[in-house]
Homo-oligomer: A and B are copies of this chain.
Amino acid sequence: MAKYSDIANEMRRRIQRGEYDSNYPITDEVSLTKEFLCSRMTVKKALDILVAEGLLYRKRGHGTFIVKSAKEEKLVNVLNNENVGLTKLIGAEHVESVIIGFDIQFPSQEVAAHLSIDLQTPTYHIIRLRKWHGEPYVLERTYMPATIIKDLTKEILKGSIYDHITETLGLTIGGAHRKIRADKPGELDQEYLHCAANDPILEVEQVAYLNIGMPFEYSFSRHRYDKFVFKTVIIQR
């Protein structure tokens, strides 16, 4: 783990435990340099992470401050734009997956294009319903090239695909590109998410990449509108 990650984690912990008075700036960068025995660039990079997470903001000439609203918000259905991961987000304990469809097909033009594969590459086609505390939460339609993500089984799908990728296959997940939109519910949504014919859906379309830049997942996650908020932080440059 990089030093700046360690420092970011430590500072995040302190902020969330209330070890800094949120009415005053936190310890300045030069002092943190001395505390963590590193250069100022490293401290800055660590704090950059917390700024991107919406936990801190900076005032030039003043200092670095805690975003007050951020400390309170420990809401349930919240996603920020940092992590790729699904089970991780709300903790695996109360999450349950129902497999609605699982087969292997040749990809459509659209799927092939998003996964950067050709039309002859066998591709998993997965439809899963994720429940949380027994309540339907999100309906996922996922495409993955079988050449990259090998040996998928129903057993794995009941748990976390991401664990299988990182732990069993030893691959490292890189970033992702997402598009978020509202949509009308389809038949599948109504059936599995138990939503009414006029309940909106919040859809997240995602292409996820391995650290080597290769796309490994093209997916559409359809969320109940009353159980999902997507959070993001804009940093001006």
A174 within 8 Å of B by Cβ?
A: yes
User: Are A200 and B175 also in contact (CB < 8 A) when A82-B234, A84-B236 are?
Assistant: no
CB contacts (< 8 Å) of A212 on chain B: these are 59, 62
Number of copies: 2
Would you call A133 an interface residue if the criterion is a C-beta within 8 Å of the partner chain's C-beta atoms? no
Interface residue stretch chosen among A13-21, A124-132, A178-186: A178-186
Asked if B84 and A81 make an inter-chain contact with CB atoms under 8 angstroms apart, the answer reads no
**Would you call A197 an interface residue if the criterion is a C-beta within 8 Å of the partner chain's C-beta atoms?**
yes
Which B residues lie within 8 Å of A82 (CB)?
234-235, 237
Q: Indicate if the CB atoms of B81 and A232 lie closer than 8 Å.
A: yes
Q: How far apart sit A81 and B116, CA to CA, in the bound complex (Å)?
A: 25
A residues contacting B by CB (< 8 A) are 5, 41, 49, 54, 57-60, 62, 65, 67-69, 81-84, 113-114, 116, 173-184, 197-202, 207, 209, 211-213, 223, 225, 228-237
| Closest CB pairs A-B (n = 7) | A200-B200, A182-B225, A198-B198, A182-B182, A182-B200, A182-B202, A180-B230
